[in-house]
Structure 1
Amino acid sequence: MNHLKTFSLLAALTALFGGLGYLIGGAGGMLIALLIAGGMNLFSYWNADKIVLKMYRAQPVDEAHPNAVVRNYVADVRQMAADAGLPQPVVAIIPQDQPNAFATGRNPANAAVCATTGLLDMLTRDEVRGVMAHELAHVKNRDTLTMTVTATIAGAIAALANFALFFGGGGSDEEERPGGIVGALALMILAPMAAGLVQMAISRAREYEADRVGAEIAGDPQALASALEKIEAYARGIQNPTAERNPASGQLFIINPLAGKGADNLFSTHPATANRVRALLERVGGAVRRPATAWSAPSASTGVPVTPSPGPWS
């Protein structure tokens, strides 16, 4: 259903782009806008992982890291990637107190998954596994590619609307345009807004799908549901300055790192956490487990209790 919803929304974006070009009548301007937007997004697609990792000062880590918590984190990601049939991604940590995580890269062979130090501090090992399984699901589903295509079309719509607004459409006679000049002006203003809303809707659909696949990869929907609730609760009180300066990167994270709350709405890139938790728990018909301290619960993969710790970054 989520794949169908994503396809339908992409089709709607494409139709909106074609319709705007037709109503404005500027075939030449439409082509120029599409080429510019396509070029910008193609550059971002090939370099997105490097740009985002540098932006958030992500530090690659491996099994040789001196901190045992980080070593467990790396080992769990590598084990789940192998179980999911994925190439081994770059595993990194971000020096940020807000608990969060994201995946980036143009395809599974060039992927990177990142967790903040706050995430490793505040969640149990099983919950971290659930979160990183969600990020591996984004890699497996090639969501980076989906969002790149979405951004390309949405960017082309915005560029075309701006071109028409400032330079006029390519039609030879305003009366020939359906809706006249008033209709054309309305479309120039509303089309980019509609494209942005559709782009956000696609992002929400991909989050639900990554929750589903991530629960399968980790084998523990309850751990991911518990992690989402904890991240939501902690993230509201901790700012992420880098995300605030670069709000377009907010859709990468498992929980929206920007200010905002409430149920799913048209202006949110992420579904409401309560809705995501409900969908996960419907898979097991249970309640969310809430271990008392970070990294104090037995590992789901080994069953061996982990020594309680205040967290490696406290």
Structure 2
Amino acid sequence: MNYARTAILLAGMTALFMGVGYLIGGGGGMMIAFMVALAMNAFSYWNSGSMVLHMYGAKEVDARSAPEYYGLVQELAQRAGLPMPKVYIIESAQPNAFATGRNPEHAAVAASTGLLNALSRDEVAGVMAHELAHVKNYDTLTMTVTATLAGAIGMLANFAFMFSGNRDSNNGGIGIIGSIAIMILAPIAAMIVQMAISRSREYEADRMGAEICGQPLSLASALAKISNYAHQVPNMEAERNPATAHMFIINPLSGQRMDNLFSTHPDTGNRIAALQDLAARMGATGRGGFAQAPQAAPASPWNTGRRGPWG
């Protein structure tokens, strides 16, 4: 159901984009809008991952520089049947994480130092399994496309207002009132569609991530902790780039807790309730599970009081 809903919303986003182009320039405007969308999506397809990682100053780590963290992601990727993604750490006090990349073969996952400091090993496993679920479901590509289209719709709406004075209704123009309406309503409609897609993908990634790590309650506990910290510890880079907020496991922006069409994420309480229901159906107890899987693993650095598993 989530996949069908996402496909419908993506189709609606594309139709909205082309519709704005048609209102501005008729059939020719619609074709120009379509070509612009193709060009922007092609650029985003190849470059969005590296751009976001650079934006947040993410540093790549490996088995030597961060053996525990890297090994945890490696085992989760094996459980999920995924190629090993690139692994990054972000210097940020706010606990959070995100995934990016155009497909599983070119994916990357990133966790903040705040997350690795604040959460237990099982909770970190739940968070990273959630991010790998996004990779497995190609959500990183889907959200890149929607964010690009939303930005392009806003750009077209501004063009409609800028050029409205040079066109009148006798020449097929939409007039100043129509231009103002497009400038206001089109970006709002695009934002609603973008948020709806993001929300539906988060529920699915929670479910699949819980199945990958085997502990729904660990992921639920992680969500509760991250949500609490997110409202106390600001993420200034995210505040400067709110268009990237949908990428994180919990909305990194301050003051957005309402479970409505204007929220980038579902309400955390609703997500936790869904995970608790999944735990009951899986017979999960919230103990053991993933933590017991690596038989030869060293003692977890998340429980030793050290500053974090990154050397």
TM-score by length of 2: 0.86
Q: Is the 8 A contact 1:174 1:181 kept in 2?
A: no
Q: Which residue of 1 aligns with 2:88?
A: 92
User: Residue 107 of structure 2 aligns with which residue?
Assistant: 111
On the 8 A contact 1:100/1:231 being kept in 2, the answer is yes
1:224 equivalent to 2:219? Answer yes
Secondary structure, aligned partner of 2:46: helix
Structure 1, 261-270 or 123-132: larger mean CA deviation? 261-270
Distance 1:174 1:134, change over 3 A: farther
1:302 Cα offset (Å): 4.0
Is 2:149 the counterpart of 1:153? yes
Q: Any gaps of 5 or more consecutive residues in structure 2? A: none
* Deviation larger for 128-137 or 150-159: 150-159
SS in 1 for 2:89: strand
Alignment of 1:8-27 (within 5 A): 8-27=8-27
1:125 to 121, 126, 137: 121
1:31 aligns with 2:23: no
1:271-310 correspondence runs (5 A): 271-285=266-280, 299-302=291-294, 306=300, 308-310=303-305
Greater alpha carbon shift after TM alignment, 273-282 vs 33-42 = 33-42
Root-mean-square deviation (CA, aligned residues, Å) is 3.0
Q: 1:226 to 1:105 in 2, by over 3 A?
A: same
Cα 1:198/1:78, change in 2 over 3 Å: same
SS in 2 for 1:283: helix
What is the CA–CA distance in structure 1 between the aligned matches of 2:3 and 2:165, rounded to whole Å?
A: 35
Deviates more, 1:118-127 or 1:161-170: 161-170
Which residue of the partner structure matches residue 133 of structure 2? 137
Which structure has greater helix proportion? 2
Provide Cα deviations, 1:52-102, integer angstroms capped at 9, x if missing partner. 22222212222223xxxx422211211111121111101111111111111
- The Cα shift of 1:176 comes to 6.4
Contact kept? 1:38, 1:156, Cα under 8 Å: no
- Is it true that 1:214 corresponds to 2:214 in the alignment? no
What do the CA deviations read for 1:268-309 (whole angstroms, capped 9, x no partner)?
A: 111111111111111123999899xxxxx9924248874732
* Residue 76 (str. 1) matches residue 72 (str. 2): yes
CA deviations over 1:227-259 (Å, ceiling 9, x no partner): 000111112111112112222221111111111
- Give the match for residue 201 of structure 1: 196
Normalising by structure 1, we get a TM-score of 0.86
The amino acid that maps onto 2:224 is E
**1:258 counterpart letter in structure 2:** L
2:4 paired residue number: 4
Query: Does the CA contact (< 8 Å) of 1:62 and 1:74 recur in 2?
Result: yes
Task: Find the aligned partners of 2:69 and 2:79 in 1 and give their Cα distance.
Answer: 15
Q: SS of 1:26's equivalent?
A: helix
Deviation per CA, 1:142-165, whole angstroms, max 9, x where unpaired?
112212322343233223322222
Give yes or no for contact 2:279–2:285 (8 Å, CA) kept in 1.
no
Alignment-mate amino acid for residue 247 of structure 2: L
Q: Identity over aligned residues, as a percent? A: 57
Call closer, same or farther: CA 1:106–1:169 in 2, change over 3 Å.
farther
- Residue of 251, 254, 258 corresponding to 1:259: 254
Give the gaps of 5 or more residues in structure 1: 292-296
Q: Give the deviation of 1:192 after TM superposition.
A: 1.7
